[in-house]
Amino acid sequence: MAKAKIVTYGCQMNEYDSHLVESQLVSFGVDMVDSIDEADFVLVNTCAIRGKPVEKVRTLLGTLRKAKHERGLVVGMMGCLAQLEEGQQIARKFEVDVLLGPGSLLDIGKALEANERFWGLQFKDEINDHIVPPPKGKLGAHLTIMRGCDHHCTYCIVPQTRGPQVSRSPDSILRELDQLLEAGIVEVTLLGQNVNSYGIDQGRRVPGLPSFAELLRRVGASGVKRIKFTTSHPMNFTEDVAVAMAETPAVCDFIHLPVQSGSNRVLRRMAREYTREKYLEHVETIKKHLPNAVFATDIIVGFSGETEEDFEQTLSLYDEVGYDAAYMFAYSARPGTPSYKHFEDLPREVKVERLARLVEKQKEWSMRKNAAHVGKVMEVLLRGDAHSDGFLEGHTRGNHPIVVPKALGASGAGLYRARIEHATPHMLYGKLVNAHGEVLPELPRFDPASAELASPLPMA
* Binding-site residue positions for [4Fe-4S] cluster: 11, 47, 80, 149, 153, 156
CA distance 31 to 38: 10
Rounded CA separation 76/8 (Å): 12
154 preceded by a cis bond (ω within 30 of 0): no
Residue 77 has a CB neighbour count (10 Å cut-off) of: 26
Binding residues: 11, 47, 80, 149, 153, 156
51-71 vs 85-93: helix crossing angle, rounded to 10: 30
d(CA 396, CA 387): 18
Number of alpha carbons in the 13 Å side-chain half-sphere of residue 282: 21
Q: How far apart are CA 148 and CA 158, in angstroms?
A: 7
Query: What is the distance between the alpha carbons of residues 420 and 375, in angstroms, rounded to a whole number?
Result: 5
Mind spelling out the 3-state secondary structure of the chain? CCEEEEEECCCHHHHHHHHHHHHHHHHHCCEECCCHHHCCEEEEEECCCCHHHHHHHHHHHHHHHHHHHHHCCEEEEEEHHHHCHHHHHHHHHCCCCEEECHHHHHHHHHHHHCCHHHCCCCCCCCCHHHCCCCCCCCCEEEEECEECCCCCCCCCCHHHHHCCCEECCHHHHHHHHHHHHHCCCCEEEEECCCHHHCCEECCEECCCCCCHHHHHHHHHCCCCCEEEEECCCHHHCCHHHHHHHHHCCCECCEEECCCECCCHHHHHHHCCCCCHHHHHHHHHHHHHHCCCCEEEEEEEECCCCCCHHHHHHHHHHHHHHCCCEEEEEECCCCCCCHHHHHCCCCCHHHHHHHHHHHHHHHHHHHHHHHHCCCCCEEEEEEEEECCCCCEEEEEECCCCEEEEECECCECCCEEEEEEEEEECCCCEEEEEECCCCCECCECCEEECCCCEEECCCCCC
Q: How far apart are CA 314 and CA 298, in angstroms?
A: 11
